[in-house]
């Protein structure tokens, strides 16, 4: 977990140790929400029309996305129509529980938009989908496959990228059957779907799968990489990046543009308290996909 920034450290020194301890750990969640709501109410009440317009002009978190919503919805429709029948679609809340991203993915909480009511804005649909999949697995569902699309917001500090984008995500959870068979089954399900999407909507696209497990690579290769859209590489553990474990893949567009990614994660193991649970997540930026999808593909 990341520590305070230089800017916040200066503020904490002015507030003093007692205020710091109360705000960080001492106050129960309900009391903390109450005082933060007071802060928001008082500060909102002090704003003028001029302040509102200034903030609207200057705050990049508020800038509308440079995409045509009609084309974006048409492309989402194409993604939903191609989805295998195993998947159940969910209409997610734009909020998820505080700490979802930092606990599951290891991303700093500073990268997430946090609310004064103890929630956070969804950074990627795979995080709330993993929470829901874990709830369903704990309630007796043997295999869970979920999908969602959502306008996700993030708090990247630098760079020209937009502060929000529509993301389409998949999460699958199932019990381990040994010898990487479950992992191969889940990868097969997701990769088949993304192969169809890439083949239909991404001219010059490909999928790069990395795994340190030769058994996983062999099973995936045996199940349909002959069309050339999927490149399988056996390499050292951690060769790709967190939060993925035994296998990870990237969905690439023309010139290596990364459109999405996916991989095996330990999230549902922790959330269900079951070390035998296996989980695969994957997703794509619909905004980025819209920029490369050909006309007549459902995105026009």
CATH code at position 200: 3.30.930.10
- Residue at 298 is within a domain: no
Domain span at residue 285 reads 67-292
1 falls within a domain: no
Q: Is 92 found in the same domain as 38?
A: no
Q: Is residue 300 part of a domain?
A: no
Q: Which of 42, 77, 245, 252 is nearest to 149 (CA)?
A: 77
Q: Which letter does DSSP use for residue 57 in this model?
A: H
* Boundary residue ending a domain (21, 39, 58): 58
Helix (H) or strand (E) holding 260: strand 258-265
The confidence score (pLDDT) of residue 226 equals 47
- In this prediction, residue 221 carries a pLDDT of 79
Q: Are residues 15 and 74 in the same domain?
A: no
Q: Are residues 115 and 198 in the same domain?
A: yes
Q: Do 255 and 130 belong to one domain?
A: yes
Query: What's the confidence (pLDDT) of residue 36?
Result: 86
Task: Give the model's pLDDT for residue 26.
Answer: 83
This prediction has a pTM of 0.89
265 vs 244: CA distance, rounded Å: 5
Does residue 16 sit in the same domain as residue 149?
Answer: no
Same domain, 131 and 254: yes
If asked whether residues 127 and 243 sit together in one domain, one would say yes
Residue 169 within a domain: yes
Residue 133 to residue 271: CA distance in whole angstroms: 9
Residues 54 and 122 in one domain: no
* Residue 279 domain flag: yes
- The answer as to whether 218 is a domain residue is yes
265 in a domain, yes or no?
yes
147 and 272, same domain (yes or no): yes
In a shared domain, residues 149 and 265: yes
Residue 80 lies in a domain: yes
Reading the chain (300 residues) residue by residue, the pLDDT tens digits are 556 677 778 887 888 788 888 888 888 888 888 888 888 899 999 999 999 999 999 888 888 888 899 999 999 999 999 999 999 999 999 999 999 999 998 888 888 888 888 899 999 999 999 999 999 999 888 899 999 999 998 876 655 556 889 999 999 999 998 888 899 999 999 999 999 999 999 998 999 999 988 888 888 877 665 467 888 888 876 666 678 988 999 999 998 899 999 999 999 999 999 999 999 999 999 999 999 988 756 654
State whether residue 277 is helix, strand or coil: strand
Query: How much is the pLDDT for 227?
Result: 63
- Residues 138, 23 share a domain: no
Q: Are residues 86 and 217 in the same domain?
A: yes
- pLDDT computed for residue 89 by the predictor: 97
Domain count across the chain:
2
pLDDT of residue 161: 57
Q: Contact at 8 Å (CB) between 60 and 278?
A: no
Burial 31-59 (b: 16+ CB within 10 A, else e): ebbeebeeeeeeeeeeeeeeeeeeeeeee
């Amino acid at each position: 977990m990341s520590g305070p920034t230089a800017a916040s450290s200066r503020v904490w020194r002015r507030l003093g140790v007692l205020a710091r301890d109360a705000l960080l750990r001492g106050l129960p969640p309900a009391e903390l929400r109450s005082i933060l709501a007071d802060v928001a109410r008082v500060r909102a009440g002090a704003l003028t029309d001029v302040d509102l317009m200034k903030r609207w002009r200057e705050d990049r978190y508020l800038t509308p996305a440079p995409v045509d919503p009609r084309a974006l919805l048409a492309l989402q429709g194409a993604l939903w129509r191609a989805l295998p029948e195993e998947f159940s679609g969910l209409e997610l809340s734009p909020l998820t529980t505080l700490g979802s991203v930092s606990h599951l993915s290891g991303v700093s909480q500073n990268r997430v938009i946090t609310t004064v009511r103890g929630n956070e804005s969804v950074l990627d649909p795979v995080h709330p989908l993993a929470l829901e999949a874990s709830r369903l697995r704990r309630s007796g569902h043997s295999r869970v496959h979920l999908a969602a699309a959502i306008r996700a917001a993030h708090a990247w500090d630098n760079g020209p990228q937009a502060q929000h984008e529509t993301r389409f995500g998949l999460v699958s959870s199932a019990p381990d059957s040994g010898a990487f068979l479950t992992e191969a089954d889940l990868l097969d399900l997701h990769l088949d779907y993304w192969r169809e999407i890439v083949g239909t909507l991404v001219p010059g696209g490909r999928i790069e799968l990395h795994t340190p497990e030769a058994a996983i690579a062999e099973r995936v290769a045996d199940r349909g990489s002959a069309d050339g859209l999927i490149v399988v590489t056996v390499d050292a553990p951690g060769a790709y990046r967190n939060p993925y474990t035994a296998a990870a893949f990237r969905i690439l567009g023309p010139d290596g543009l990364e459109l999405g990614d996916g991989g095996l994660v330990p999230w549902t193991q922790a959330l269900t308290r079951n070390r035998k649970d296996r989980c695969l997540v994957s997703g794509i930026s619909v905004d980025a996909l819209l920029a490369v999808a050909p006309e007549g593909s459902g995105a026009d």
